[in-house]
């Protein structure tokens, strides 16, 4: 039954995935990006509405940076994609399948080294930069489910490493979803207290938009 539910969720959220002709922006990553797609209110949907132009969306729930098969692997999602801006997140599913929150050092090192230069995430970002794309990496917010737990420390470590990575290349921007999310504001979260509500997805899109189309 659980497998059926997961497959149904994937089929539902897969609807609308793709890269329209002429899309300057493509969104990739995991469920944080894909959530609310079935309601036309995902991060990519809101970006398209704000920009008034097509936005590609290849994100999927359960996607991983280092694992996953086919489009459930984030680098695979972006294989052959060419766009001016690539917006993505990733790493949460790698952490949840690869360690518990008290012993994640080895998985963090494989994702991104302490100096931000090595690991699966810097390798992916380097590949994307090689296509001429500018990259916006969206660091996770703190969800009500994990606020105040040991997991928060692991994600702070990930954020610091991602910040060092972004500082190495002016074509890479790190945006922090915690800047626009408060784990105490449940209106920003879906009923599972983990994924974004429609309002939350819009907050993420507007955070990204500051980098793509800054207000003069």
DSSP letters for 49-64: HHHTS-EEE---TT-B
The boundaries of the domain holding residue 65 are: 2-212
- Confirm if 85 and 25 have CB atoms less than 8 A apart: yes
Tell me what the mean pLDDT of segment 125-130 comes to.
Answer: 98
Tell me what the mean pLDDT of segment 133-158 comes to.
Answer: 96
Tell me what the mean pLDDT of segment 15-37 comes to.
Answer: 94
Query: What mean pLDDT, rounded, does the chain reach?
Result: 93
Tell me what the mean pLDDT of segment 118-144 comes to.
Answer: 98
Tell me what the mean pLDDT of segment 123-136 comes to.
Answer: 98
Which pLDDT does position 73 carry in this prediction?
98
Task: Say which CATH number the domain at 23 has.
Answer: 3.40.50.1110
pLDDT of residue 4 exceeding 50, the answer is no
pLDDT of residue 115 exceeding 50, the answer is yes
Instruction: Give the whole-angstrom CA distance, residue 177 versus residue 167.
Output: 18
Which pLDDT does position 102 carry in this prediction?
84
Instruction: Give the whole-angstrom CA distance, residue 181 versus residue 173.
Output: 19
Q: What are residue 176's DSSP bridge partners?
A: 139
Under the phi-then-psi rule, with left for phi > 0, alpha for psi from -120 to 50, and beta for the rest, what region is 64?
beta
Which pLDDT does position 3 carry in this prediction?
44
Percent over 70 (pLDDT), the chain:
92
Domains in the chain, number: 1
Q: Which of 63, 5, 64, 57 has its CA nearest to residue 36?
A: 57
Could you report the per-residue pLDDT of 147-179, keeping only the tens digit for each?
Answer: 999 899 999 999 999 999 999 999 999 999 999
Could you report the per-residue pLDDT of 63-105, keeping only the tens digit for each?
Answer: 999 999 999 999 999 999 999 999 999 999 999 999 988 899 9
């Amino acid at each position: 039954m659980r497998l059926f539910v997961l497959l149904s969720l994937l089929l539902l959220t897969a609807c609308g995935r793709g890269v329209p002709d002429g899309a300057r922006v493509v969104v990739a990553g995991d469920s944080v990006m894909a959530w609310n797609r079935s309601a036309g209110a995902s991060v990519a949907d809101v970006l398209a509405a704000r920009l008034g132009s097509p936005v590609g969306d290849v994100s999927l729930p359960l996607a991983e940076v280092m694992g996953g098969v086919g489009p459930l692997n984030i680098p695979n999602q972006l294989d052959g994609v060419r766009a001016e801006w690539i917006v993505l997140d990733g790493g949460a599913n790698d952490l949840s399948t690869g360690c518990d929150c008290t012993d994640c050092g080895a998985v963090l090192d494989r994702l991104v080294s302490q100096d931000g230069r090595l690991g699966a995430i810097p390798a992916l970002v380097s590949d994307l930069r090689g296509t001429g794309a500018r990259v916006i990496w969206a660091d996770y917010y703190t969800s009500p489910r994990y606020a105040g737990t040991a997991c928060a420390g692991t994600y702070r470590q990930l954020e610091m490493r991602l910040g060092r990575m972004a500082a190495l290349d002016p074509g890479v921007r790190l945006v922090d979803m915690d800047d626009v999310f408060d784990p105490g504001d449940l209106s920003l979260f879906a009923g599972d207290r983990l994924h974004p509500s429609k309002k939350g997805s819009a907050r993420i899109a507007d955070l990204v938009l500051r980098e793509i189309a800054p207000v003069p």
